[in-house]
């Protein structure tokens, strides 16, 4: 098994546990607010599957096979919030606890795991972007490292990645009210996390292809 598939199993296992534990938390009914929050998460996830993922697929050309990995891109704040709240609200008297303290604590780690996914995306983009840079130099010429460094920075630093993200027009308001607007760093991390998913599903060749496609898509939207 290729290593990217091994990494994917870890993320898919966590995504499955998130889905299962959201259902168990709803059954526990610790608070009315938590029940409403879970419903909102489910509704937004349906919208993500219906509109967001197809839009990202159009831009990158990648066929996303595991939509639950997008929990780590779009819903990590909401999921963290609902399980954080559950830790401070015991099951109502007479109810049956379905989630242990360890279960709840694990679910709140999704924000850190999102950063791990973004880190993976950042790492593979370092190499994947070379296909876009090198081809512009001609097959017989070896680019200087300074050229590669400068051109790479034009494409995969937070600022250019945030522009790619904006071109996808994923502009629904968040579930959590009064969140600060997404900044350049947050958008850049989201774009890296998407490429982290592409790598987990299909490896480095898919990252190279998806980035070239995204670059072309972005140029058409300018």
Can you give the CATH number for the domain in which 12 is found? 1.10.1520.10
Comparing C-alpha atoms, which of 145, 143, 152 is closest to residue 122? Answer: 152
Distance (Å, rounded) from C-alpha 159 to C-alpha 154? 8
pLDDT at position 138 is 64
Angle at CA 72, nearest 5°, toward 35 and 107?
Answer: 50
Query: What was the pLDDT predicted at 137?
Result: 58
User: Quick check: 107 and 18 in contact, CB under 8 A?
Assistant: yes
DSSP state of 125: H
Q: Percent of the chain having pLDDT more than 90?
A: 73
Helix (H, G, I), strand (E, B) or coil at 122: helix
Domain count, the chain: 1
Average pLDDT, the chain: 91
**Nearest in space to 119 (alpha carbons), one of 66, 209, 197, 24:** 197
User: If DSSP codes are grouped into helix, strand and coil, which group holds residue 75?
Assistant: coil
pLDDT at site 17: 97
- The pTM for the full model equals 0.92
Of 34-43, 141-150, 208-217, which range is least confident? 141-150
Q: Average of pLDDT values for 124-140?
A: 77
Structural domain boundaries enclosing 192: 3-221
Q: Compute the Cα dihedral for 39, 45, 51, 52 and give only its sign.
A: positive
User: What is the percent of the chain where pLDDT is above 70?
Assistant: 96
Per-residue confidence (pLDDT) for residue 151, from 0 to 100: 84
Mean pLDDT for 44-71 is: 96
Q: Has residue 211 got a pLDDT over 90?
A: yes
């Amino acid at each position: 098994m290729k290593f990217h598939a091994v990494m994917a199993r870890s993320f898919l296992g966590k995504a499955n546990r998130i889905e299962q534990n959201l259902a168990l938390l709803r059954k526990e009914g610790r608070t009315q607010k938590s029940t409403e929050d879970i419903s909102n998460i489910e509704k937004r996830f349906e919208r993500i599957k219906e509109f967001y993922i197809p839009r990202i697929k159009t831009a990158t050309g990648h066929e996303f096979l595991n939509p639950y990995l997008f929990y780590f891109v779009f819903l990590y704040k909401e999921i963290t919030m609902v399980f954080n709240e559950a830790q401070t609200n015991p099951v109502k008297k007479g109810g049956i606890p379905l989630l242990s303290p360890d279960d709840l604590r694990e679910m709140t780690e999704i924000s850190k795991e999102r950063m791990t996914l973004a880190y993976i995306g950042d790492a593979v983009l370092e190499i994947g972007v070379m296909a876009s840079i090198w081809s512009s130099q001609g097959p017989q010429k070896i680019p200087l490292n300074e050229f590669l460094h400068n051109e790479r920075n034009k494409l995969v630093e937070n600022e250019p990645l945030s522009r790619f993200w904006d071109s996808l027009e994923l502009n629904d308001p968040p579930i959590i009210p009064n969140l600060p607007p997404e900044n350049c760093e947050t958008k850049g991390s989201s774009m890296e996390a998407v490429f982290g998913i592409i790598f987990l599903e299909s490896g480095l060749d898919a990252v190279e292809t998806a980035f070239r496609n995204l670059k072309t898509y972005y140029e058409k939207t300018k």
